[in-house]
Amino acid sequence: MSGVAISLNESSFLAYEHFQSRVNREGHLFGTLEGNVIVFSGELDKVPYETRSMLHPFHINYFTFSTLLDKLNGRKDLTIVETGTSANAVDSTSLWDSWIRKFGGHLTTIDIDPSRKLIGQSRWCSQTEAVVSDSAEYLRNWKIHHPNQTIDVVYLDSWDVDWHNPTACQKHGLAEFEAIIPCLSKHAWILIDDTPKDPSWLPDRGAIYHYVSTNVHTFGDPIPGKGALVLKMIEGDLRFRVVLHQYQLLIEYSAFGFSA
């Protein structure tokens, strides 16, 4: 892996800055920045999966996150909503917080667990609002809490998937998605975590992979995941199109619709 080089546009440069700050906190040096290129040192395979940032190219979420950041292309004053406030691991809340620090806007991050807010609020900027609530319920009342404010970017990651019994997680993901549709701006982006396109996108090759792979024909298409019911819902709806589907699901929304 030594010598891998990745060119950065302005949005991805922000992602790298967030990645590098996390690397520094964890005490690992994965690579160096040379101009607008990251050159990786080959140390990534020595670091446990759980401690890696989603913003290096060996993380399973790298391409979906970086594609979204590239599509946003430094747009200013976005309204961003995240369900499932991150307290560790990927730390997506700090990524979105970094975005609005650099480009302006407002971040609302929602979690039913009050400890998530307590852990992170001291390091987030004043434009980041941490809400303790059931995410679907809060989003259904978005226009009450935020009148005249539409949503430009949504990141749904609020309910851990039980791969053996995913129904509750999938229904919650669908409830969140249905709740945000009336609140979206005319052109918006929705990123949903834990929605593998097929078993090969699962992040390990242990018991979960074996179970899902063995039962893939029973599940049908799509296989279990947070956004599985969302995929079924948007099929044939020209307001939505799937931009990238790997372990995460990236959806683009247009109020005017896309060509068939």
Q: Which residues pair with 106 in a beta bridge?
A: 79
Q: Which of 55, 73, 74 is nearest to 63 (CA)?
A: 55
Q: What is the pLDDT of residue 30?
A: 35
Q: Report the distance separating Cα 231 and Cα 251, nearest Å.
A: 10
Question: Domains in the chain, please, with CATH?
Answer: 1-59 (no CATH), 60-254 (3.40.50.150)
Q: What is the pLDDT of residue 129?
A: 95
Region of poorest pLDDT, from 114-123, 140-149, 150-159, 240-249 = 114-123
- CA-CA distance, 21 to 88, in Å (whole number)? 14
Integer CA distances (angstroms), 54 to 16, 41, 68, 138, in order: 10, 17, 13, 27
Question: Helix, strand, coil shares of the chain as percentages rounded to 5?
Answer: 40, 20, 40
Using one digit for the tens of pLDDT, what is the confidence trace for 184-237? 999 999 999 999 998 888 877 788 877 788 877 777 777 889 999 999 999 999
The pLDDT tens digits of the residues spanning 37-74 come to 333 444 334 333 333 344 566 678 878 888 888 888 88
Residue 246 has pLDDT above 70, yes or no: yes
Whether the pLDDT of residue 35 is over 80: the answer is no
Total-model pTM: 0.79
Task: Give residue 232's pLDDT.
Answer: 95
